[in-house]
């Protein structure tokens, strides 16, 4: 079964637009996470950024206390955030690049250029019982690096596929890269997740990518929830995952 991890960052984005700097406010990302779980989401993803632009520290601690599925903490490989993760003990962390000027995470991690630093963090997480995923582009060198680092998962960056979805040639080229990267990762003993830019229109085509374990999707679900409600939005996304055959 292809699993769905719902990213709740943008619930916090809406809250911070009005309640930035306050210890309260709506909507509540933890309440949203519980709704997602209730209707069948297999996990909850949240990105605790260094600049705390959406998810706050109190959110991740409440998530750790409240949710009953799998907590996936997206994070930069930064000393402060590493220390928090080691105390928080999510089931898995996904190490991502982080740039202050970006609206959301753009581009994959340069695992090949950061072997030692990422290996050190991977060891710390694994020693604490936390699995590690690396958010990387579908590039052979990056997949190879992820295996050398010793991560349990990679998360393939599907942004280029999503961006070119309506240009058939480029879309198919990106899809071929994703297929090749998934096969390479599987052969190296890595588990494969995917995410970024996935939505209700482009997700069915991703079914051609083999060995996928989980998709992490946020913006599209939260956007649809504005008109349909969160429960319906999550159920509709889960329905699109049902026919996946690795």
3-state secondary structure of 215: strand
* Cα separation, 14 vs 34, whole angstroms: 18
Spell out the residues 6+ positions from residue 28 whose beta carbon is closer than 8 angstroms to its own. 11, 15
- DSSP strand E in 105-188: where? 131-136, 153-157
H-state helical runs in 164-246? 168-187, 219-228, 230-241
Residue 47 known to be catalytic = yes
Residue 10 known to be catalytic = no
Catalytic residue from among 10, 47, 54, 157:
47
Catalytic residue from among 10, 42, 54, 196:
196
Q: Other C-beta atoms within 10 Å of 22: how many? A: 10
Catalytic residue from among 10, 54, 74, 214:
74
Backbone angles phi, psi at 32, to 5 degrees: -65, -40
Q: Which of 2, 23, 44 is nearest to 238 (CA)?
A: 2
* Residue 86 CB burial class (10 angstroms; 0-12, 13-18, ≥19): middle
* Cα separation, 15 vs 246, whole angstroms: 38
In terms of phi and psi (left: phi > 0; alpha: psi -120 to 50; beta: otherwise), the region of 149 is alpha
Pairing of strands 43-47, 92-95: unpaired
Residue 196 known to be catalytic = yes
- The tokens for 93 are 């962390």
Catalytic sites, residue numbers = 47, 74, 196
């Amino acid at each position: 079964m292809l699993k769905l991890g719902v990213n709740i960052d943008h619930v916090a984005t809406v809250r911070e637009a009005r309640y930035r700097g306050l210890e309260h406010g709506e909507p509540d990302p933890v309440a949203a996470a519980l709704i997602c779980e209730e209707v069948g989401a297999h996990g909850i993803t949240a990105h605790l950024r260094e600049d705390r632009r959406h998810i706050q520290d109190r959110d991740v601690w409440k998530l750790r206390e409240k949710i009953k599925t799998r907590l996936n903490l997206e994070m930069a490989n930064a000393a402060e955030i590493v220390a928090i993760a080691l105390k928080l003990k999510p089931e898995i962390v996904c190490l991502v690049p982080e740039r202050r000027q970006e609206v959301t995470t753009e581009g994959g991690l340069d695992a090949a250029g950061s072997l030692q630093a990422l290996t050190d963090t991977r060891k710390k997480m694994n020693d604490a019982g936390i699995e590690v995923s690396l958010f990387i582009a579908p590039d052979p060198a990056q997949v190879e690096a992820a295996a050398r680092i010793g991560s349990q998962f990679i998360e393939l960056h599907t942004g280029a596929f999503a961006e070119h979805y309506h240009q058939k040639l480029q879309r198919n080229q990106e899809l071929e890269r994703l297929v090749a990267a998934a096969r390479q990762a599987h052969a190296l003993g890595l588990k494969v997740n995917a995410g970024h830019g996935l939505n209700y229109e482009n997700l069915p085509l991703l079914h051609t990518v083999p060995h996928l374990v989980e998709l992490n999707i946020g913006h599209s679900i939260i956007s649809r929830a504005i008109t349909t409600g969160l429960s319906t939005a999550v159920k509709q996304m889960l329905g699109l995952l049902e026919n996946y055959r690795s």
